[in-house]
Amino acid sequence: MRSKKKSQGGAVRAILKCMSAATAIAVVALSSDRAPAQGPPVSPQAWGPVVAVKDIDPAIRAAAEVLGIVRTRALVIGQVNLPEFVGKGTMVDVEAAGSARAIEISRYTYSIALHLQAARLDFEGPQTPRTIRVVKGNRAWDEAWSDDKTKLSTSPSDNAAYRAQAIWLSPHAFLHAAAFASGKKCLDGKACNTPVKVAQEGGRTVVEVEVNGTTYKATMGTDKRPERIETMVKMPGRASKKLTAIYADYRTGEKPDAGFGLAEGKDALDKYHSGTYWPSRMTHELDGMKVLDLSITEGWANPYVVFPDPELLAKAQ
């Protein structure tokens, strides 16, 4: 699988330089957009857990299809398990104590590893130094590069609950969770019963799914993709607030379309040209106050991303 190139030396590239190939393999599960040479069945070891679309609710299947996350001739969901998007705009740093002012962000990168329930947020702006925040399971830490960009240090964070809950507000993560729940599978692929509900509200399809004890509700747009995803999150400081993610103008190529389009052109949003769709615009509202407003400039389905634990990273360096 090809590695993507970034305008800056990102966390992934430098981590890999300081880790042996054997260590890198040990800490990351890889995925690919390539279809297997033969048809079904698909080995779960090949991609990580998957669920067949024939086993899920038609509304969830329709949303997954036009988001471009149904893959292979076996028609399964689960192979796009490393979604990453890059954008720019403004944000209120909700993890910073007392922060309520929107700041300009020139680069905002959010990477998710669904099979690890991990995410890395990497942002910076004209008046904001590069900030890297990670969550993996129930553990969170921050990362920082040395001035010469040769060493990556970590410091623990007590914001694991907030960061972990935020993962499932992503449209790709939400539909992944909803599909597994609808197919009566846990996120690890084992059989289980997870609460999931599909209904109609005001002429729109609404999907609710529980992830790790938290209920997420998505309202689908006229294009069948998630238009709004909302939940109650545990904020830094332990207060609970309603966080709503709003998405608009999904596209894979240069212009929004109804689905099954081609990721063609130099301004295609899907940088791997694999047919995965990404919203052109996203906002977050916290108890009704806008805390994030981004124009999405890049979407990557399954880039090479690692989430080494701090101890392993320190040992490797």
Q: What is the pLDDT of residues 48-100, one digit of tens each?
A: 899 999 999 999 999 999 999 999 888 999 999 999 999 999 999 999 877 78
The one-letter amino acid code at 143 reads E
In a 13 Å sphere around the CA of 139, the CA atoms on its Cβ side amount to 10
Which tens digits make up the pLDDT trace of 198-246? 999 999 999 999 999 999 999 999 999 999 999 999 988 778 999 999 9
What pLDDT sits at residue 46? Answer: 55
Tell me: pLDDT of 18 over 80: no
Q: How many CA atoms lie within 13 A of 50 on its CB side?
A: 24
Q: 216 to each of 156, 162, 229, how far by Cα in Å?
A: 27, 14, 7
Look up residue 76 and give its two tokens.
């399964």
pLDDT tens-digit readout, 256-296: 999 999 999 999 999 999 999 999 999 999 999 999 999 99
Give the pLDDT confidence score for residue 120 in this predicted structure. Answer: 98
Quick: pLDDT tens for 188-209.
999 999 999 999 999 999 999 9
- Please state, rounded to an integer, the average pLDDT across all residues of the chain: 87
How many CB atoms are located within 10 Å of the residue 31 CB? 24
Using the predicted structure, report yes or no on whether residue 19 has a pLDDT greater than 50.
Answer: no
What is the share, in percent, of the chain residues with pLDDT greater than 90? 78
The span from the CA of 263 to the CA of 154, in Å, is 37
pLDDT tens digits along 132-153: 999 999 999 999 999 998 899 9
